[in-house]
Amino acid sequence: MTWPEAPATDTGLLVLHALRCAGTVTLARLHAITGLDASDAESELIDLGADGLVTRLSGGIPGWGLTDAGRAVDAERITRELESAGARERVMAAYERFLVLNPELLDLCTAWQLRPVDGVMTVNDHSDPGYDSRVLARFVDLDRRADAVCAELSAALPRFGRYRVRLTEALERAAAGRSEYVADGTASYHIVWAELHEDLLATLGLRR
């Protein structure tokens, strides 16, 4: 069967949907999520703000976030994108394969954050490089299997391709010794994976 080619996602929707999946974000994080130039991302935020779809927040978590109207518009536009590309079946199939891997990812994050010491699970202070290396090897194996899911998603809707880039970057940085890129920082493998999960739910109109 020949599938129709998925249309490219417009930059306004990329920005709007990034906020839907990641919550309140800074301009720098929005750039990392979307791959857009910071100036282009900021321009889209200003336009979306003028339409009442996003708002700039201050206080404990400064950045940009969706308004209620923005959330509703994002849901409508994401559904339209999915249906116009004829991609629902493919995205749902990839989502089902994602769900097979998701419990393993959560177990790996726990294994990274805790390790057994004298038979007791203890916060992992990363003082045992052998233990960390073994857990990272398991992440690499999971990522190899997740690659097929990412490929299926990006073939269905090109905007999903950005997750493959971000997951690869996180794993490479973790392998280079930057442990925060496994499960702790906002650009960590765990957080990118969680955003992909949220994106799949939002795209398909599903609840957790």
- For 57-63, the CB contacts below 8 A with 24+ separation are 57/24, 61/24, 62/24, 62/26, 63/24, 63/25, 63/26, 63/27, 63/29
- CA–CA gap between residue 51 and residue 44 (Å, rounded): 11
* CA–CA distance, 21 with 117 (Å, rounded to integer): 37
pLDDT of residue 9: 67
Give me 205's structure tokens. Answer: 């109109």
pLDDT at residue 117, as a whole number: 86
* Alpha helices by DSSP H, the chain: 11-22, 27-34, 38-50, 68-84, 88-113, 129-156, 161-175, 180-183, 189-204
The DSSP string of 15-38 is HHHHHHHH-SB-HHHHHHHH---H
Tokens of 39: 């100036």
Strand partners, 121: 116
The CA distance from 174 to 183, in Å, is 10
As a three-state string, the secondary structure of 52-77 is: CCEEEECCCCCEEEECHHHHHHHHHH
Identify whether the C-beta of residue 162 lies closer than 8 Å to the C-beta of residue 36: no
Please check whether residue 205 is in contact with residue 93, taking contact to mean a CB–CB distance below 8 angstroms. no
CA distance 206 to 164: 22
Cα–Cα distances in angstroms (integers) from residue 70 to residues 31, 52, 67, 120, 193, in the given order? 19, 7, 5, 47, 23
Q: For each of the chain's 208 residues, which pLDDT tens digit applies?
A: 333 444 456 899 999 999 999 999 999 999 999 999 989 999 999 999 999 999 998 877 779 999 999 999 999 999 999 999 999 999 999 999 999 999 999 999 999 999 988 788 899 988 899 999 999 999 999 999 999 999 999 999 999 999 999 999 999 999 999 999 999 889 999 999 999 999 999 999 998 7
Contact 122, 116 (CB under 8 A): yes
